[in-house]
Chains A and B, each alone.
Chain A
Amino acid sequence: QKEVEQDPGPLSVPEGAIVSLNCTYSNSAFQYFMWYRQYSRKGPELLMYTYSSGNKEDGRFTAQVDKSSKYISLFIRDSQPSDSATYLCAMSAGTYGGSQGNLIFGKGTKLSVKP
């Protein structure tokens, strides 16, 4: 079983839809969770960061972490064509200075929002 699993999609939705993106993981030591957005041929940019379980909201984006189920989600409300990109989840066990602090990435989900 891979450490981080993410459905690659592609996922196509109409403009204005609510989008749900998900990752599952196997390492119970993970406690830092991030979502990155990557436009085609660009570097990933950090969207959301969450520590441990719970929700975090930033504008149209909400990140959820359920450590008991080893499952994280990113919700996008009122999706826009400009949200069309690949979304990467990433997580780590923490501990700056050791390899456990390195991020483990999902393979990314490609999202297309149609006008």
Chain B
Amino acid sequence: DGGITQSPKYLFRKEGQNVTLSCEQNLNHDAMYWYRQDPGQGLRLIYYSQIVNDFQKGDIAEGYSVSREKKESFPLTVTSAQKNPTAFYLCASSIRLAGGLTDTQYFGPGTRLTVL
């Protein structure tokens, strides 16, 4: 089955620790995205990558880092510099729409990160 997987589903971190969230897709999508979702805040874009070995900052990139060494994988590291990391993290990937130019994004199941 094609899809996007995220692991782990739940993650607990102590203050001052870096943690890495995994995102893998087997949809052969070129672009991948990381969002953060907080209650009442909607989805906020952290980083995105439109091609392997290239990525751009989104609206709230401070305290996060990413890599895109393979088309299928786009891991997100939450560093100790992120002041309020407790949130639900969503990974997405996208294709071109038939006849259009924009992206329809498909989401993974999410990782809930809690800082203790």
Q: Are B105 and A45 in contact (CB under 8 A)?
A: no
The B interface is mostly helix, strand or loop, or mixed, namely: strand
Closest residue on chain B to residue A98 by CB atoms:
B50
Q: Are B97 and A43 in contact (CB under 8 A)?
A: no
Q: Are A32 and B100 in contact (CB under 8 A)?
A: yes
Q: Are B45 and A108 in contact (CB under 8 A)?
A: no
The digit string for B99-116, where 1 denotes a CB below 8 A from any CB of A, is 011111111111010000
Q: Decide if B43 is an interface residue (CB 8 Å cutoff).
A: yes
Q: Decide if B42 is an interface residue (CB 8 Å cutoff).
A: yes
Q: Using a CB–CB distance below 8 Å, which chain B residues touch chain A?
A: 4, 6, 33, 40-43, 45, 48, 50, 56, 58, 88, 90, 92, 96-97, 100-110, 112
Q: Are A103 and B110 in contact (CB under 8 A)?
A: no
Q: Are B104 and A46 in contact (CB under 8 A)?
A: yes
Q: Are A102 and B110 in contact (CB under 8 A)?
A: no
**In the complex, how many residues of chain A place their beta carbon closer than 8 angstroms to a beta carbon of chain B?**
30
Q: Could you say which residues of chain A place their CB within 8 Å of the CB of B112?
A: 41
Q: Could you say which residues of chain B place their CB within 8 Å of the CB of A96?
A: 96, 101-103
Q: Are B97 and A32 in contact (CB under 8 A)?
A: yes
20 A–B pairs (Cβ distance < 8 Å), ordered by A: A8-B40, A32-B97, A41-B88, A41-B110, A42-B110, A43-B92, A43-B107, A43-B108, A46-B104, A46-B106, A92-B102, A94-B101, A95-B101, A95-B102, A96-B102, A97-B50, A102-B33, A102-B103, A103-B103, A107-B41
Q: Could you say which residues of chain A place their CB within 8 Å of the CB of B107?
A: 36, 43-45
In chain A, residues 20-73, which have Cβ atoms closer than 8 Å to a Cβ of chain B? 31-32, 34, 36, 41-46, 49, 51
Q: Decide if A111 is an interface residue (CB 8 Å cutoff).
A: no
Q: Are A92 and B103 in contact (CB under 8 A)?
A: yes
Task: Kindly provide the distance from the CB of B9 to the nearest chain A CB, expressed in whole angstroms.
Answer: 9
